[in-house]
Copies of this chain bind each other. A is one copy, B any other.
Amino acid sequence: MTLDEAIAQALAHVEPITETERVPTLTASGRVLAEEILCPHDVPGFARAAMDGYAVRAADLAQASRDSPVTLRVIGAAAMGQDPRTLPAVGEGEALEISTGAPVPPGADAVVMVEQTARLSDHTVQIFSAVEVGDQVLAADSDFRRGELVFRAGHKLRAVDIGALLAMGISQIQALRRVRVGLISSGDELVEVGEPLRPGQVYQINGHILRQLVEAEGAVGELLGIVPDDPAKLRAAVEQAVRTYDMVLLSGGSSVGRRDWTFRIFQDLGEVLVHGIAIKPGRPTIFALIEGKPVIGLPGNPVSCVLVCEKFVRPVLARRGGVSVLLPSHKLAAAQLMQTVRSTVGREDFIAVRVRYDGGRLYAIPVAGHSNNISTLARADGILRVPPELEEIPQGAQVWVELL
């Protein structure tokens, strides 16, 4: 099964969570809207000047040009923040000085840029250019129109969307609650940092990396501890996690025995929908639905674990969290490949690379490292993808590197 097929298969079965909660707009960045947002009133709510200049009646300036300027009577100035109802109406032959963002006074239908004017006295200004009705005027509903559908439910709010909500005066929104992800690490060799380490043991790292990756996506990750290599205990841990969490990630070992247990436990408790993906590293990935919840068994090798999380868990998590449109979200850098990389047709390969600047250009150098080793990623700046149809990418090729 290719990566795209595995994602499609998983997404076809994952149901978004439905519980919602009220969230202050100021803290809603990264949250998924549970409601559609209709604009409650016109924004900005009054016509504003788009440039510094003079609010005028376009008809008065029909003949104005550099050679035959039109002189208008200046009846005052519109200050920023001023209530437009307190402004004098602009009559025939009149103009009101105006700053960018200030309200356009009644009677005026255009703003002429200050660069097209010469102030003759306190009370007169010369205008060197004709204007069209509406020139340099932002209408009262130019930002958002009352009743307009601004965001659909399922939209994941970005920083600029928080700005848009605030511009509409919306101080709270209804959001889907954050997805709670239970993270199980399994393996007799694993020890938590801070505990004494005997020869033969290694520190548990995958759970901590996964927690950060899922939290970067707006979920809440919780480490459920290290489960020993015992099928009964692993099964109990999965059952318990499925009861408590919206989604479960199990980072197991890479031995065949452990993988087989994981598969049998998932099959026993629910339905296995993906069993192996044609990617390297990351092949032994298992996706199951248990009590309607996505449960994913990830390889124990840290490099594989990170890649499967980025490539497979991320879209599943987004769907579970109610995100309606999944856009790619990788940070890419263009670079020249410094060493030929080889792959196998029909399999997608992901290769850790360092990225170096030299003379304003970026160069990608494959990292020699085993996927057992977290050092392979710690020494890398990013990941190079070799698509399934390629046998190699030659030295010197221009490539896109997904930055870590």
| Complex: A46 Cα to B189 Cα, angstroms | 12
| Complex partner residue of A198 from B48, B83, B212, CB under 8 angstroms | B83
For A171, the chain B residues whose CB sits under 8 A away are 193-194
B163 touches A403 (CB 8 A): no
| Complex: A167 Cα to B205 Cα, angstroms | 6
Bitwise, A314-333 to B at CB < 8 A (1) or not (0) is 00000000000101111111
B143 touches A375 (CB 8 A): yes
Bitwise, A295-325 to B at CB < 8 A (1) or not (0) is 0000010100010000000000000000001
For A50, the chain B residues whose CB sits under 8 A away are 370, 372
Interface centre among A193, A306, A404 (most CB of B within 10 A): A193
Residue of B with least CB distance to A49: B255
Chain A count of residues within 8 A CB distance of the other chain: 95
A202 at the interface (CB under 8 A from B): yes
B99 touches A200 (CB 8 A): no
A306 touches B160 (CB 8 A): yes
A11 at the interface (CB under 8 A from B): no
Known: A48-B372, A202-B167. A159 touches B212 (CB 8 A): yes
Residue of B with least CB distance to A352: B160
A336 at the interface (CB under 8 A from B): no
A208 at the interface (CB under 8 A from B): yes
For A325, the chain B residues whose CB sits under 8 A away are 357
B161 touches A328 (CB 8 A): no
* A187-212 at interface with B (beta carbon < 8 Å): 187-190, 193-194, 197-206, 208-209, 212
For A190, the chain B residues whose CB sits under 8 A away are 81
Known: A138-B372, A163-B374, A253-B101. A80 touches B189 (CB 8 A): yes
| Complex partner residue of A373 from B143, B187, B198, CB under 8 angstroms | B143
Known: A205-B166, A375-B144. A254 touches B100 (CB 8 A): yes
A99 touches B253 (CB 8 A): yes
Bitwise, A65-80 to B at CB < 8 A (1) or not (0) is 0000000000000011
Residue of B with least CB distance to A160: B377
| Complex: A393 Cα to B83 Cα, angstroms | 42
For A302, the chain B residues whose CB sits under 8 A away are 160, 163, 167
Knowing that A43-B375, A169-B197, A327-B333 touch, tell me 14 more A-B residue pairs with CB under 8 angstroms: A25-B193, A100-B253, A101-B189, A143-B373, A144-B375, A159-B212, A160-B302, A163-B205, A163-B378, A166-B204, A167-B374, A171-B193, A332-B332, A332-B400
* Nearest 9 Cβ contacts at the A-B interface: A81-B189, A164-B378, A81-B188, A160-B377, A159-B212, A99-B255, A163-B205, A143-B373, A100-B255
User: Which residues of A pack against B, CB within 8 Å?
Assistant: 25-26, 29, 43-46, 48, 50, 52, 79-85, 99-103, 114, 138, 142-144, 150-151, 158-164, 166-171, 187-190, 193-194, 197-206, 208-209, 212-213, 216, 229, 253-258, 300, 302, 306, 325, 327-333, 355, 357, 370, 372-375, 377-378, 380-381, 400, 403-404
8 pairs, A vs B, C-beta closer than 8 Å: A80-B188, A138-B372, A159-B209, A163-B374, A327-B381, A328-B332, A328-B403, A329-B331
